[in-house]
């Protein structure tokens, strides 16, 4: 089995977040369209949060550090 590399996992989540933004809208309308767009936003948010994490393995435990504080303007 290959050695786990947490930064490679983080990069895959960044790629997934970008892919959600490029995801084509299927031929749906009305409520289905709204639900699709809402799910895409949730998917992007989840992938982007993990994609922004600092990851390391401490004593065999994957630790993700994610700064959830609001950005200064």
pLDDT at 73: 75
Quick check: 34 pLDDT over 70?
yes
pLDDT tens-digit map of 41-66 = 999 999 999 999 999 999 999 999 99
Q: 17, 44 in Cβ contact below 8 A?
A: yes
Q: From CA 28, how far away is CA 49, in angstroms rounded?
A: 28
Instruction: Report pTM.
Output: 0.80
Cα–chain-centroid distance for residue 34? 21
């Amino acid at each position: 089995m290959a050695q786990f590399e947490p930064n490679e996992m983080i990069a895959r989540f960044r790629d997934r977040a970008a892919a959600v933004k490029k995801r084509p809208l299927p031929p749906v309308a009305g409520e289905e369209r709204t639900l699709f767009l809402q799910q895409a936003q949730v998917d992007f948010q989840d992938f982007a949060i993990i994609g922004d994490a600092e990851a390391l393995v401490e004593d065999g435990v994957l630790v993700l550090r994610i700064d959830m504080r609001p950005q200064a303007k």
